[in-house]
Chains A and B, each alone.
Chain A
Amino acid sequence: MSGFSPRFARGDDGGGARTPFKTRPFVQELPLPLVKEPFSTGSACVDGLPTTGIKAGPVEHQFFDRADCAPVRAYTIDVREALHSFHPDMPPTTIFGYDGVFPGPTFRAQYGQPILVRFFNNLPKDHVGFGIPSITTHLHNGHTASESDGYPGNYHDSGTYWDNHYPNVLNGFSVDPETTDSGECMNTLWYHDHRLDFTAQNVYAGLAGFYLLFDDKDCGDETNTDGFQLPSGEFDVPMVFGDKVFDADGQAVFDFFNLDGILGDKNTVNGAIQPFMKVQRRKYRFRFLDAGPSRFYALAMSDGSPMVQISNDGNLLPAPIARSVVTVSVAERHDVIVDFSKYQVGEKVYLMNRAEQTDGRGPTGTLLTPGDPLVEFQVIGLQNPDVSQIPSTLRIPPPLSLDQVVKTRSWEFNRGNGQWTVNGKIFREDEIRATVKCNTREIWKFKNGGGGWSHPIHTHYEEFRTLTRNGQTPPAFERGRKDVSVLGPGEETEVLFNFRDFHGKYVTHCHNVVHEDHAMMIRFDIVP
């Protein structure tokens, strides 16, 4: 993998790292990530997993033996170097891949079915170029114990493995199952590398994949009338966006020497540059994910048709919202339903990115017309009747109650001497910046420290409810739960957390991963 480009990507030397390949648009089909199959199932599933190499961790799992947490499916992931073709007009690119593929295989998990995933680090010890053969895997934003959360400092090197336990339980399960707040029931998650100081490089190298979580209502079966009947099967399509630059050998270029945030000149969707997708004249569910490193998207249909947003950061909204432009910052997930039944067979319509962004600071706020085409939808005939629905009501969270708030904290995300800070301080692995008592509620105020930067602020482990954005009621699409609070220039938000169940260390950080890697992160610990 090639490193390179002292700010060339921004072109301020008059150079400009540009991919020296013309890639014909819409000549390759949108790839769909493979579905991950378990290595073993049943109550003894973990016992039979391979143990090649050295176990790096964890020492023990919380709640591992509890009936509702004990794994019933066990998986292995082989993290290794491989070649991947981003476009047939370019040579293949060396990547880091979960199971050697990009995007990593999709987990299809189910509430009530705990799993364990053994991540084998088989990256080459003598790797050359950007990316480091040392990993820690974060399930963003699983209700996951600290030791399985991919804490940045819990990295493990080539030749070792780490077990992550994903109990797939609702928030509050250990406190009072009778009052477990089923509103905090997630659907679209993703897993990605979180290696301390190398998250941007390792994710850019390819370490990202989807983790879809299903439950009785969002059940992944549009024919099940007990569920929401959201489009399912081949009509439920995850799309991960990432922009890249390639060199003359087709190798991805990572700008080591740009600490602002890096941009690419090739837009990829599911690891393909400008793919096409054949769509039947019916409803589709698209699960949009911005895997960064630093680009923000304003997604829109080329004909201006609204998309119906149903979920935000993997949390179904109280009700669907029709939006003509869906903004997605790094790490956000926005699920939308697009109905192609109004188009004629043979018609083409495009998914566009209309956000103008010229550097790592964030989008300029200008909506481009028409913008950059990301995917070409080619409309074909309907094969079977579309039985999927867009329910008028999805998940209504309980009324906001501030009665039980025990603490309010403020976090200002800033820059000084070119260093990224939170409340003026840089991240230290061993410095606990907040100690949170388990099973309590807290209000956190996130503030953008200025300078024209945008910061998508992600808090691990717990979903929050947004109380205010710039002192006002947040927009409708932000009224469900979320795990990324986007701070545009000058913005501030107040969010409400209810920290429950597991204990241990977690992080809150800017998800412009270049900022994150340069210390714009805090550690918080949940304690009994």
Chain B
Amino acid sequence: MMTRRALIASLAAVPLVGARAAAAPPPSTGGRRHFPNPTLLTQDNERVAFYDDLMKGKIVLVNFFYVECTGICPAATANLINVQEMLGARVGRDIFMYSITLKPLEDRPPQLKMYQEMHSIKPGWTLLTGSANDCELLRRRLGFADIDPVVDRDTANHIGVVLIGNERIDSWMACPVQSDPKQIVKSVSWMDR
């Protein structure tokens, strides 16, 4: 890869203004710039810092759900179980799956634990809850809020998207959570650079 310095040197015709241009850029991973770092709770009642423990340096798949959802969640979870199966042993090693609850007041660690067992969700896929404010902050920051407030309040028809990314290289995409699991696995492979 061409270094920034070399790139600048090659740009003889473009006048550079100010000292900024020559200054070394910050590390280009989005990292903390993208993600808040609230403390969440897992289905095993472990405390985890969202950015530091869950995102930093990892390939991740993130969606939102809630335990009692009878809308998109059952199909979404079943689909993601196929994805987890296809990704195999890498899940929990360098690829991590996270489902954050949309109803943090109802879905506490015991409810998440029950959901995990009911669906035979394997290690490497973590179910998460937290304070209502923190879960809401993440929902908004990660793009799981509908722009139309009326639609957004209808939690039963919540956004059914899975966010896929590699924090180390700051590469992110999203696809419908009901996509063909083969396609989701392929999308993960694009992030695996």
Contact = CB atoms under 8 A, between A and B. Distances in A.
A518 B102 CA distance: 22
A128 interface: yes
Contacts, number: 159
A519 B151 CA distance: 20
A123 B179 CA distance: 28
Contacts of B30: 2-4, 129
B1 A126 contact: yes
Contacts of A416: 157
Interface in B120-168: 140-148, 151, 157-161, 163, 165
Contacts of A260: 147
A515 B167 CA distance: 23
B144 A418 contact: yes
Contacts of A6: 34, 140-143
B144 A1 contact: no
A257 B141 contact: yes
Interface stretch (B16-24, B41-49, B107-115): B16-24
B37 interface: no
Given A126-B1, A451-B151, A452-B148, A428 B141 contact: no
A179 interface: no
B17 A89 contact: yes
Given A88-B15, A197-B187, A419-B161, A130 B2 contact: no
Given A2-B30, A82-B10, 12 more contacts: A6-B140, A6-B142, A6-B143, A84-B14, A88-B17, A91-B20, A91-B21, A126-B1, A197-B190, A257-B141, A519-B176, A519-B179
21 contacts: A3-B170, A4-B34, A5-B34, A6-B34, A83-B8, A85-B14, A91-B20, A91-B21, A128-B28, A128-B29, A249-B20, A256-B143, A256-B165, A258-B143, A259-B161, A417-B72, A418-B159, A418-B160, A419-B159, A517-B173, A518-B174
State the 3 A-B residue pairs at the shortest beta-carbon distance, nearest first. A418-B159, A257-B143, A417-B160
Interface of A: 1-7, 10, 12-13, 81-85, 88-92, 94, 124-130, 132-134, 197-198, 248-251, 256-260, 359-361, 416-419, 426, 428-429, 451-452, 517-519
Interface of B: 1-2, 4, 7-8, 10-11, 14-18, 20-21, 25-26, 28-30, 33-34, 71-72, 140-148, 151, 157-161, 163, 165, 169-180, 183, 187, 190, 193
